[in-house]
């Protein structure tokens, strides 16, 4: 048991560090993004067992006069300090600036020779830039309609896009294996566009998909078999979409929801959570959603908080909740599954856990045995098996 806890701590160390009268939050590997981006050239991450690890070092002061980068938000202060960081992924400064590090390459749409899936990009709203990448698997029978799956990517609401290598290389095999037409959504990111922007973009994209305006969806999609799926922050979005659909009279009708390692949190630690994790996650949540009511007990982050919408309102017939046993979010994900199962919701909920695996492991390790098992579970769920 001791070895298990230590491994989780090494992979997901989140610490509040007193530093010269200040408390600084440092995170070594965010529990909602992979430890190493697929396609990234920077694989080095500081862990607690290394000498003089970065999370114990005083942040380097950064001059605002340094040349700005496309991945940062321009701010005015003369000296800025790091307040929160994931060394492989991002740095957040006290001024509110964010630096996105080691961003995965953007891959073009088109035919994927390995899977036979064809993709294309569609602009859904020219004013906001909301877009989606559609995936159409090879048609064995052109007259047969395909289930439609709307996918929301993860990245703590701060990172990633539908056209990144991370998700393009995941959704292609998913579309092929499940035989589904996928609408992968590129919602706008915080902090440039604070929440609820991502939720609103995601809802607009779902309504667009359900309207079958696109020729692929109109010709090949079976809207009577609509699924929602997402990983990490994307799974959090799926939960919000189900509640929005309930408030819209159950429309669009969703047959199934696939929650891959959902990012949920709360102000109060629950049994089994890593020490310091709730506070650090609450800080990151408030950075993405500065208008959150109740901090991390905002119902969008903590669906089990007092006053949160009743889970019986979830507007889908079936649900699959998945988690990695070594994930810092495992306890929250399991609690969510158990709460849905115990609620008055009339649907069927299933649970899948991956032994020995960390958060969204299936993205950087798609060929490992546990990733294949997870893919098989998702495919079987969509098929109704």
Point out the residues that are catalytic.
Answer: 232
DSSP 163-214: TBHHHHHHHHHHHHHHT-EEEEEEPPPTTTS-TTHHHHHHHHHHHHHHTT-S
Distance CA 72, CA 137 (A): 36
Q: Are 366 and 173 in contact (CB under 8 A)?
A: yes
Say how many CA atoms lie within 13 Å of 113 toward its Cβ.
0
Assign 10 to helix, strand or coil.
helix
Query: Please, what's the b/e burial string for 258-277 (b: 16 or more CB within 10 A of its CB; e: otherwise)?
Result: bbbbbbbbbbeeeeebbebb
Residue percentage of the chain with pLDDT more than 70: 80
Residue 316 pLDDT > 60: yes
The pLDDT assigned to 254 comes to 98
| Residue 76: pLDDT band with limits 50, 70, 90 | low
Residue 149 CB neighbours (<10 A)? 26
Which residue has better confidence, 384 or 12? 384
pLDDT digits (tens, 9 = 90+) for 226-248: 999 999 999 999 999 999 999 99
Residues 6+ apart with CB under 8 A from 187: 130, 152, 197, 198, 201, 202, 205, 237
Segment among 5-14, 102-111, 338-347 with least mean pLDDT: 5-14
Classify the C-alpha dihedral 100-105-109-113 as positive or negative: negative
Determine phi and psi for 66, rounding to 5 degrees: -65, 150
| Residue 151: pLDDT band with limits 50, 70, 90 | very high
Q: Give the mean model confidence (pLDDT) for residues 169-196.
A: 98
Alpha carbon of 193 to those of 51, 97, 100, 206, 210: distances in Å?
38, 13, 15, 19, 25
pLDDT digits (tens, 9 = 90+) for 89-128: 999 999 999 999 999 999 999 999 999 999 999 999 999 9
Q: What is the mean pLDDT of the chain?
A: 84
Q: Are 224 and 288 in contact (CB under 8 A)?
A: no
Residue 258 pLDDT > 60: yes
The pLDDT assigned to 84 comes to 86
Give the Cα-Cα-Cα angle 143, 221, 236 (nearest 5 degrees): 155
Segment among 204-218, 274-288, 339-353 with least mean pLDDT: 274-288
Radius of gyration over every alpha carbon of the chain, rounded to an integer in angstroms: 20
The pLDDT assigned to 294 comes to 94
The pLDDT assigned to 218 comes to 98
Which residue has better confidence, 373 or 46? 373
Residue 291 pLDDT > 80: yes
How large is the angle between the packed helices 197-210 and 233-247, nearest 10 degrees? 60
| Residue 385: pLDDT band with limits 50, 70, 90 | confident
Distance CA 250, CA 121 (A): 28
Tokens of 210: 């359900």
């Amino acid at each position: 048991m001791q070895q298990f806890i230590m491994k989780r701590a090494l992979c997901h160390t989140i610490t509040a560090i007193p530093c010269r009268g200040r408390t600084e939050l440092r995170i070594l590997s965010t529990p909602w993004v992979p430890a190493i981006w697929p396609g990234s050239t920077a694989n080095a991450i500081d862990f607690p067992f290394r000498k003089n690890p970065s999370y114990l070092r005083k942040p380097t002061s950064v001059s605002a006069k340094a040349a700005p980068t496309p991945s940062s938000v321009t701010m005015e202060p003369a000296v800025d300090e790091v307040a929160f960081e994931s060394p492989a992924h991002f740095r957040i400064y006290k001024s509110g600036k964010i630096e996105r590090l080691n961003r995965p390459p953007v891959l073009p749409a088109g035919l994927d020779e390995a899977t036979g899936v064809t993709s294309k990009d569609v602009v859904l709203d020219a004013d906001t830039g909301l877009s989606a990448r559609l995936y159409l698997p090879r048609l064995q029978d052109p007259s047969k309609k395909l289930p439609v799956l709307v996918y929301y990517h993860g990245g703590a609401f701060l990172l990633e896009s539908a056209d990144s290598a991370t998700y393009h290389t995941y959704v292609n095999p998913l579309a092929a294996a499940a035989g589904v037409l996928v609408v992968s959504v590129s919602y706008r990111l915080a902090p440039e566009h604070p929440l609820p922007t991502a939720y609103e973009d995601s809802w607009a994209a779902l309504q667009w998909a359900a309207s079958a305006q696109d020729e692929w969806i109109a010709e090949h999609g079976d809207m009577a078999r609509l699924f929602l799926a997402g990983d990490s922050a994307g799974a959090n979005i799926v939960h919000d979409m189900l509640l929005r659909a309930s408030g819209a009279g159950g429309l669009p009708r969703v047959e199934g929801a696939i929650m891959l390692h959902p990012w949920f949190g709360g102000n109060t630690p629950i049994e089994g959570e890593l020490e310091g994790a709730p506070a650090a996650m609450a800080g990151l949540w408030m950075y993405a959603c500065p208008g959150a009511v109740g901090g991390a007990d905002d119902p969008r982050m903590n669906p089990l908080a007092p006053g949160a919408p009743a889970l019986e309102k979830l507007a889908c017939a079936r649900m699959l909740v998945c988690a990695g046993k070594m994930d810092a979010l495992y306890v929250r994900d399991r609690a969510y599954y158990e709460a849905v199962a115990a609620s008055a919701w009339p649907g069927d909920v299933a649970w899948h856990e991956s032994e020995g695996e960390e958060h969204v492991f299936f993205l950087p390790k798609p060929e490992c045995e546990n990733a294949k098992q997870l893919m098989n579970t998702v495919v079987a769920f969509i098929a109704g098996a």
